[in-house]
Structure 1
Amino acid sequence: MQLNSEVITTPPRASATVVLLRDVPQKGLEVFLLRRHTASAVWGGVYVFPGGKLDEADCTPDLHAHLDASPQALHSALGEPDLDVHTAAGLYVAAVREVLEECGVLYARLHDSQALAHDAAQRQHWQHALHGGQAFVDVLQSAGLRVDTQHLAPWSRWITPLQPSVTNKRFDTRFFIAVLPPGQHPIHDNIEAIDSVWLSPREALDRYWAGGLPLAPPQIMTLVSLLSHSCTTDVLNCAKQQTPALILPEPFDDEGVRTLCYPGDPRHSVAQRAMPGPTRLRFVAGRFEPVGGFEDFL
């Protein structure tokens, strides 16, 4: 992979990703990963977390009337003072909408109920409606649903470098942590995603290193950030106590090897670390890996 000297002048596209977690008896924390269709324009064939681009409709007052919290409260929880209030709320909407569309998990409840909507057939119907082009606000309105944002906790924010690395498209992605609702079972949609798997963070990294689980750098580093957590409660408590890490990778050519460095690396413009794990990944033999090998993940 050669370093491209061009600079992308278009602003990054706002997007949202959901790191879906569950607890498994005698095993511990697991994370849900989808494999992108090989024809996908971005990360084709790679395992990612459910997510997608922020739509203009996600930021509208009509849709925000179906939220369980005010746009102002969600703006405060996201921890980005300079961000427009309705865009902040829209990012929560995008996260909920995308996780329903991509894997059939819904963070919403009936307006007159305290229970999350968990009927599988009904969720599949709403999922198909979104794939068919129905607006999310119409799904919520017709079903009498209230979006349950309180189950989403901001975890990190990743901004694609100005200089092309893996893709020429730029994204400004907010990663949310969310625990799988009781009674719901995600599955890939066979449209945007062709496979799915539940794995512990360590198992996912082991499979990546063995060559059986293609991953992108944000997924790699997010899995590393989860290694020290034993259960979903631990992760959620951590998320509530921290400001989401801002990560803008900076690419450079290291003696002919494509390299990404992160905050805290000697080559990065930000001296303070933003996350655990290696501060740089090198593109070697078709994959990104730390300078010190697998042990650097740990």
Structure 2
Amino acid sequence: MQQVPAEAPPIPIRPAATVLICRDSADGPEVLMIQRHVLSDVHGGSYVFPGGKVDAADAQLDAAAHLDEPPESLHALLADPDIDPATAAAIHVAAVREVFEECGLLLAEGLDGPGTLQAAALGAQGLAFNDLLGRLGVRLATRAMRPWSRWITPLNALHSPGRRFDTRFFIARAPEGQEPRHDDHEAVLSAWLRPRAALERYWQGEIALAAPQIMSLAHLTRHASVDAMMAEAEGRAPCVVRPLTFEIDGHRATAYPGDALHPERARVMPGPLRLVLRGKRLEPPGGFDDLWQ
């Protein structure tokens, strides 16, 4: 009797959070990007926004003592009926924690210069994030950031195969009086980049970007100020992006809601509806100018 091969176990989808930290400049808004270490297991060598997986400890933070908004309010902002307020709070905590761990910025209320230095020193000592907040006696400034989008990794993803994430993207104002310091472990470089300039560098082959970063940068280019970005985030629920990967004309590609090949017919965000992998670069079918659709 021929033995039927066992089906491969489903790839678990892990919750994650990432933050588009933005500031105004004389030449227009800039967003903080970090370069992942080339040996990183997710997006190695690419420029990304700071972020990472939600940890169990993120759900254990004392919300009453260390959150500036109650979990119920954070739950409403995420507009996801499939999670509870405690999970919504943990996602927000993870977003702030990952920013602090990867680039040294702490989104916390009333953090002055000495407090910033103390936070950096405690972080360098390896103190757990929840304990660090307790030592500082601060609340996380979740009001400084708002949900922007939600990306759910498809099966057969173009990047980091074998890993799937349900990632909440937040947009946040850069905290005043703080400068990013990448950790030289997961992140080997940090830079403030204008969204269009980052895409131009990508197109010229100077930096590597994954699809969510390409699409998020293209989205940010629509705004002339951080105020405008925050106003958009305040005025709508986060868009949910479920990319669909497929092969076309011998190339791997990914489609977004609104594309003719995507089962979701309504567009959920600006920018191209499809990216095609040509060599090592993801390109809209119409070239660079299609990023501004």
Report the TM-score range of the alignment, normalised by the length of the smaller protein. Answer: over 0.9
**Which secondary structure does the structure 2 equivalent of 1:73 belong to?**
helix
How far residue 85 of structure 1 moved from its aligned partner, in angstroms, is 1.3
Q: What's the TM-score, normalizing by structure 2?
A: 0.93
What letter corresponds to residue 152 of structure 2 in structure 1?
I
Aligned to 1:203: 197
Aligned pair 1:145/2:141, yes or no? Answer: no
**Which secondary structure does the structure 1 equivalent of 2:96 belong to?**
helix
Paired residue for 1:162, among 155, 158, 162?
155
Paired residue for 1:278, among 272, 282, 293?
272
**Which secondary structure does the structure 1 equivalent of 2:21 belong to?**
strand
Aligned to 2:248: 254
How far residue 80 of structure 1 moved from its aligned partner, in angstroms, is 1.1
Seen in structure 2, the aligned counterparts of structure 1 residues 22 and 57 have a Cα distance that, compared at 3 Å, is same
Paired residue for 1:116, among 108, 111, 117?
111
How far residue 127 of structure 1 moved from its aligned partner, in angstroms, is 2.8
What letter corresponds to residue 256 of structure 1 in structure 2?
G
Residue deviations 1:59-109, cap 9 Å, x none?
Answer: 126356311111111101111122121111111100111111111111113
What letter corresponds to residue 161 of structure 1 in structure 2?
P
Aligned to 1:97: 97
What letter corresponds to residue 124 of structure 1 in structure 2?
A
**Which secondary structure does the structure 1 equivalent of 2:201 belong to?**
helix
**Which secondary structure does the structure 2 equivalent of 1:141 belong to?**
helix
Aligned pair 1:263/2:257, yes or no? Answer: yes
Between the aligned partners of 2:61 and 2:94, the Cα distance in structure 1 is 14
What letter corresponds to residue 175 of structure 1 in structure 2?
F
What letter corresponds to residue 21 of structure 2 in structure 1?
L
How far residue 118 of structure 1 moved from its aligned partner, in angstroms, is 4.2
**Which secondary structure does the structure 2 equivalent of 1:205 belong to?**
helix
User: Does structure 2 conserve the Cα–Cα contact (< 8 Å) formed by 1:7 and 1:164?
Assistant: no
User: Does structure 2 conserve the Cα–Cα contact (< 8 Å) formed by 1:38 and 1:44?
Assistant: yes
How far residue 223 of structure 1 moved from its aligned partner, in angstroms, is 0.3
User: Does structure 1 conserve the Cα–Cα contact (< 8 Å) formed by 2:244 and 2:255?
Assistant: yes
Between the aligned partners of 1:8 and 1:258, the Cα distance in structure 2 is 24
Seen in structure 2, the aligned counterparts of structure 1 residues 233 and 284 have a Cα distance that, compared at 3 Å, is same
Aligned to 1:112: none
Paired residue for 2:187, among 193, 216, 219?
193
Aligned pair 1:127/2:123, yes or no? Answer: yes
* Correspondence list, 1:39-54, <5 A: 39-54=39-54
Between the aligned partners of 2:62 and 2:228, the Cα distance in structure 1 is 35
What letter corresponds to residue 143 of structure 1 in structure 2?
L
Between the aligned partners of 2:119 and 2:189, the Cα distance in structure 1 is 19
- List gaps (5 residues or longer) in structure 1: 1-5, 110-114
Per mean C-alpha deviation after superposition, the further-off stretch among 29-38 and 59-68 is 59-68
User: Does structure 2 conserve the Cα–Cα contact (< 8 Å) formed by 1:19 and 1:176?
Assistant: yes
**Which secondary structure does the structure 2 equivalent of 1:43 belong to?**
coil
Aligned pair 1:30/2:24, yes or no? Answer: no
User: Does structure 2 conserve the Cα–Cα contact (< 8 Å) formed by 1:8 and 1:163?
Assistant: no
How far residue 279 of structure 1 moved from its aligned partner, in angstroms, is 0.5
User: Does structure 2 conserve the Cα–Cα contact (< 8 Å) formed by 1:21 and 1:232?
Assistant: yes
Aligned pair 1:21/2:22, yes or no? Answer: yes
**Which secondary structure does the structure 2 equivalent of 1:267 belong to?**
coil
C-alpha RMSD over aligned residues: 1.5
What letter corresponds to residue 247 of structure 1 in structure 2?
V
User: Does structure 1 conserve the Cα–Cα contact (< 8 Å) formed by 2:119 and 2:136?
Assistant: no
